[in-house]
Amino acid sequence: MIRPARPDDGAAAGLVFDAARPAYRSAAGSDERARAILEHLWPLTGHSASFEHALVAELDRRVVGVVIAFPARDRYRLHLALLRRSLRFGTARRLPLLVLALPQLIAATPHPPRRAYYVATIAIAPQARRRGIGSALARGAELEATRRGFPLIVAHTGSRHLPARQALERYGAHAVKDRSWGYVLYVKAVDEPPDGATAESSQ
């Protein structure tokens, strides 16, 4: 079952962490700290890891998948809000590292079209993979994009992250901008129906 996320879906916050573990670990200093920060921020609104932008998948009444998506034009605002809210949990010595890393991250990430709906995270619990849950979540994001009037759905993944790239291509997305040293941007028209393939992860 696919449904809107709720503030008490704590398992979804853990999946968000698992989807980009190296990046969150680097920002927070450890897996434990990063996971705790995301679990604390998940119930809060106004940032890019909030339940308010998420759909979750349930299997046997357990959350086993999550997709976070929002208008591409809001991407920087929501990501910066996540960073600001996370800073109070960090250490003083990590703040300069984060500030220096931001311009590099922006340069490594192709800019999506403003008229697109942006998938920031899609993640499936290991025990629930290869069961069509990724495709169902992606379809849910597409329906939300259509409802809100966006003709495109877009996602980034690592340029060298071959499994994610292959999953996105099976799903019907097309690579349009590629930073060989960073991320690649995939685009899909929301009126193109999924072909049944699984899009398990995008980052």
Q: How many domains does the chain have?
A: 1
Higher pLDDT, 199 or 21: 21
The answer to whether position 143 is within a domain reads yes
Higher pLDDT, 130 or 147: 147
Range in 95-104, 145-154, 160-169 with the lowest mean pLDDT: 95-104
Q: Judge contact between 154 and 119, C-beta under 8 A.
A: yes
Q: What is the CATH number of the domain that holds 121?
A: 3.40.630.30
The answer to whether position 74 is within a domain reads yes
Give me the pLDDT at residue 98, please.
53
The mean per-residue pLDDT over the stretch 126-152 comes to 92
Q: Which two tokens stand for residue 12?
A: 């979804």
Give me the pLDDT at residue 28, please.
74
pLDDT-based confidence at residue 25 (cuts at 50, 70, 90): confident
- For the stretch 55-100, pLDDT in tens is 999 998 899 999 999 999 999 899 888 888 887 776 545 555 455 4
* Helix, strand, or coil (residue 165): helix
134/128 Cα distance (integer angstroms): 9
Report the chain's terminal Cα–Cα distance, integer Å. 23
pLDDT for 112 beyond 70:
yes
176/185 Cα distance (integer angstroms): 6
Give me the pLDDT at residue 51, please.
97
Q: Alpha carbon of 101 to those of 28, 48, 69, 162: distances in Å?
A: 13, 18, 23, 24
Non-local (6+) Cβ contacts of 106 within 8 A are: none
**Pairing assessment for the beta strands 152-158 and 116-124 based on DSSP bridges:** parallel
Give me the pLDDT at residue 103, please.
54
The answer to whether position 202 is within a domain reads no
The answer to whether position 199 is within a domain reads no
The answer to whether position 194 is within a domain reads no
Give me the pLDDT at residue 152, please.
96
The answer to whether position 200 is within a domain reads no
Give me the pLDDT at residue 197, please.
41
In which domain, by residue range, is 165 found? 2-189
The answer to whether position 203 is within a domain reads no
The answer to whether position 137 is within a domain reads yes
